[in-house]
Amino acid sequence: MEGQERENQTYVTQFILLGFRDLKNLQILLFLGFLVIYIATIVGNLLILVLVVVDQHLHTPMYFFLGNLACLEVCYSSALNPLLLSTLLSNGKAITFSSCFLQLYLFGYCLGAECYLLSVMSYDRYLAVCKPLHYTTIMNTRKCIQLAAISWTNGFIGISIIMVVMLQLTYCGPNEIDHYFCDTVPLKKLSCSNTDVVEHVNLILLFIYTMPPFLVTLASYVYILRTILRIPSLIGQQKAFSTCSSHLSVVSIYYGSVIIVYLLPPSSSMNKIFSLLYTILPPLANPLIYSLRNKEVKRALKKWLIKFRIFQNVQANSFG
């Protein structure tokens, strides 16, 4: 009897992303806002990535990890923002079953990798500030590559597990996703099969991918702040504290919003708002907070801008 019922079911071949359809009067304003954010995110992160690659002075562990983060943010934003912009233009967007799960895979991969990469970066700063005499010995080239590879690999492992259990579900309607991208929480609601296994797996992976990295990050900054407080210069303390507090604020918002989204009831209308805090804000803020405020990055940017101007002048004179 169950087999006959399954044969009579109509399986979903595409989904409809509703995006922010409930904010009809703000669609154009939201589109322009998210477009500016997306362009700024891509330009900012690509700029950091290029500077880290071409400038020899930035070939240090700190900037190696910042380059990895910039590359990750470009992938992260590009997996989500183009489709988000499309939903705002068309007041909803049809997406095929395979495209939806491809987006879920890319998003989940970047999310898992970033959680661990942020903790690696905080650990790097802890060694630099609290263990300066042993820093170069511990954080050598081999160790940097290993830590970056672990972060990228962890993202692959986590989303692969999620994809296996999500693809075991049956999707037979409705097909409207009340979100601006394909995520596990709204997709589970559309399944007409038992989702207990998916929920348990999601909960376990949420704990593994957020709590340990967040605790490592928090512990690193606690030790960093303790070291900062021992700095005799008040100006030095204020400068270091300002940088650390900015880093910790962004990281806390990132981890906190991830935890809230995946622990809140699926029907919560706040999920979209909290999702923006870890999908849109960090890729935009990270280049500004981690890189563009640093003297080394500003110096490298200024040097390459001067070289670019000289190159332009030489070209203009040769054609003149």
In tens, the pLDDT along 24-70 reads: 778 889 899 999 999 999 998 998 888 888 888 888 898 899 899 99
Q: What are phi and psi of 91, to 5 degrees?
A: 55, 45
The answer to whether residue 123 scores a pLDDT higher than 80 is yes
Q: What percent of the chain has pLDDT over 70?
A: 85
Q: Residue 2 — very low, low, confident or very high, per pLDDT cuts 50/70/90?
A: very low
Q: In this predicted structure, what is the pLDDT of residue 24?
A: 76
Distances (CA, A) of 36 to 43, 49, 69, 88, 160: 11, 20, 21, 14, 32
Q: Comparing 265 with 195, which gets the higher pLDDT?
A: 195
Q: Could you tell me if residue 314 is inside a domain?
A: no
Q: Comparing 271 with 178, which gets the higher pLDDT?
A: 178
The residues, ordered by sequence, that sit 6+ positions from 122 with a Cβ below 8 Å of its Cβ are 216, 217, 220, 221, 247, 251
Residues comprising the chain, all counted: 320
> In Å, how far from its chain's centre is CA 183?
14
Q: Could you tell me if residue 112 is inside a domain?
A: yes
Between CA 216 and CA 116 the distance in angstroms is: 10
- Is the distance from CB of 296 to CB of 302 less than 8 angstroms? no
Give helix 61-90 / helix 27-54 axis angle, nearest 10°: 160
Kindly state the average pLDDT of the residues 94-114. Answer: 91
Specify burial of residue 247 (Cβ count, 10 A radius: 0-12, 13-18, 19+).
buried
Q: Could you tell me if residue 66 is inside a domain?
A: yes
Q: Could you tell me if residue 1 is inside a domain?
A: no
**225 lies in which domain range?**
11-300
Q: Could you tell me if residue 310 is inside a domain?
A: no
What is the model's pTM? 0.85
- Is the distance from CB of 128 to CB of 135 less than 8 angstroms? yes
Residue type at 306? I
Distances (CA, A) of 75 to 42, 71, 81, 109, 256: 9, 7, 10, 10, 22
Q: In this predicted structure, what is the pLDDT of residue 40?
A: 92
Q: Residue 317 — very low, low, confident or very high, per pLDDT cuts 50/70/90?
A: low
Q: What is the pLDDT of residues 232-270, one digit of tens each?
A: 777 666 666 666 777 777 788 888 888 887 776 655 567
Q: Could you tell me if residue 80 is inside a domain?
A: yes
The helix or strand, by DSSP H or E, that contains position 132, with its residue range, turns out to be: none
DSSP letter for 24, please: G
Q: Could you tell me if residue 318 is inside a domain?
A: no
Q: In this predicted structure, what is the pLDDT of residue 319?
A: 52
- Terminal-to-terminal C-alpha distance of the chain: 84
Q: What is the CATH number of the domain that holds 289?
A: 1.20.1070.10
The residues, ordered by sequence, that sit 6+ positions from 116 with a Cβ below 8 Å of its Cβ are 150, 151, 154, 155, 209, 213
Which ranges in 269-294 belong to alpha helices (H)? 271-279, 281-286
Domain count of the fold of the chain: 1
Q: Comparing 304 with 2, which gets the higher pLDDT?
A: 304
In terms of Cα–Cα distance, which of 287, 284, 285 is closest to 35? Answer: 284
Q: Could you tell me if residue 309 is inside a domain?
A: no
